[in-house]
Amino acid sequence: MLVALALLLAAPAGDQPVCAPDPELDYVCGAEKPEDVLAIPGTPWLIASGFAPGAGLKLVDTRGRSAMRWYTGPPTPPPRDGTCPGPLNPALFNARGLSLRATGPKRWQLLVVNHGGRESIERFDVSLDRDRPRLRWRGCLPMPAGQVGNSVAAFADGTILVTVLTRPGTTIADFMLGRPTGGVWQHRPGVPGFTLLPGTELPGNNGLEVDPDERHFYVVAFGWHAVLVFDRADTRVPVARIDAPDFLPDNIHWSGNRLLLAGMRLDEPACGGLRRVENGVADPMLCHRGWVVGALDLKGRRIATVAYGRPQPGFNGLSAATFVGTELWLGSFQSARLAIVRPQQETP
């Protein structure tokens, strides 16, 4: 009983430095590269990944604007399915893409792309107890040999999808030049391992989300700066391609009834314009670029601008966005902080 209780309790992330605001953004420090962010529906709580060794997961109180380390890794029973090699090591936990799906009243399944100690999809149960979310690790799904996951999503029938940005033998420079580098891998309940979905090999498979119709899914092709829509019954040819207006969409997630995309500005004058490939190596984009959050309009086949901003000294590498109430929160694959957009920066 004590072990189980310890597993559910979140631990503080330690003393968090105070982040001074920038002209357009407020901040919560101590997030350790929050590459992906998701709001827990109907609550003031936010989940943030940590794209660095040991950064793991953070639980964010948006009311007090504070973050705490969420998974601390007490001993847990081994998974029953036998596919997971063992418990998740919090000292190595390197979390990237996130997926949250309701499993009952005040209960959700959380899937996390992990690079720490193993390439895997980690499974968690999230429950709301006395108005505070609780977390319990439930096992993992190892990725196919040589494949590094990026984003994850799940259908109601338990089918899990994972994007791979660059398969072995390909590079970031390749997808910037429009060459296919990645794919979407599928895991079905009761079927061992993952399979590559034909037709999903794109230039830089990045963000991933499923449609409420349980039939379609969305994939960001980072090299094309576009969203591809697939029918899960036949993925050989995409249903639609929707290009982003002057930004580099990274993650894509539902936020209420809006399908949000977030990323850095494509043509940034402060950084010399477009991202470049020189001598076969892609610019790492350390120069601070402007940022854009868009909403996918499937009927209109366009991406409408929700919010945007200029380069900020304290924030770069926008990769995810979600609303918590009326506040728009931003994640980053580069910065050690979360950003909050001030209301005047939003557009109808």
Per-residue tokens: 39 = 């709001």
Q: What is the rounded average pLDDT for all residues in the chain?
A: 92
Residue 83, pLDDT score: 86
Instruction: Identify the three-state secondary structure at position 189.
Output: coil
Residue 28 has pLDDT above 80, yes or no: yes
pLDDT the model gives residue 129? 82
The whole model's pTM is what? 0.93
Q: pLDDT by residue (tens digit) across 36-45?
A: 999 999 999 9
Band the pLDDT of 130: cuts 50, 70, 90. Answer: confident
Q: What is the mean pLDDT of residues 134-158?
A: 97
Sign of CA dihedral 6, 35, 121, 253: positive
**Looking at residues 176-198, what average pLDDT do you find?**
96
Point out the least confidently predicted range of 9-13, 16-20, 114-118. 9-13
Six token digits for residue 339: 């950003």
State pLDDT tens for residues 76-116.
666 666 789 999 999 999 999 999 999 999 999 999 999 99
If 0-12 CB within 10 Å is exposed, 13-18 middle and 19+ buried, where does residue 162 land? buried
Per-residue pLDDT, 175: 97
Distance between CA atoms of 323 and 27, rounded to whole angstroms?
A: 15
231-274 pLDDT, tens digit each: 999 999 999 999 999 999 999 999 999 999 999 999 999 999 99
Work out the average pLDDT over 155-172.
98
Q: Which long-range contacts (CB under 8 A, 24 or more apart) does 115-120 make?
A: 115/148, 115/149, 116/53, 116/54, 116/56, 116/88, 116/89, 116/92, 117/88, 117/89, 117/92, 117/93, 118/85, 118/142, 119/143, 119/147, 119/148, 119/149, 120/84, 120/149
- Decide if pLDDT at 16 tops 60: no
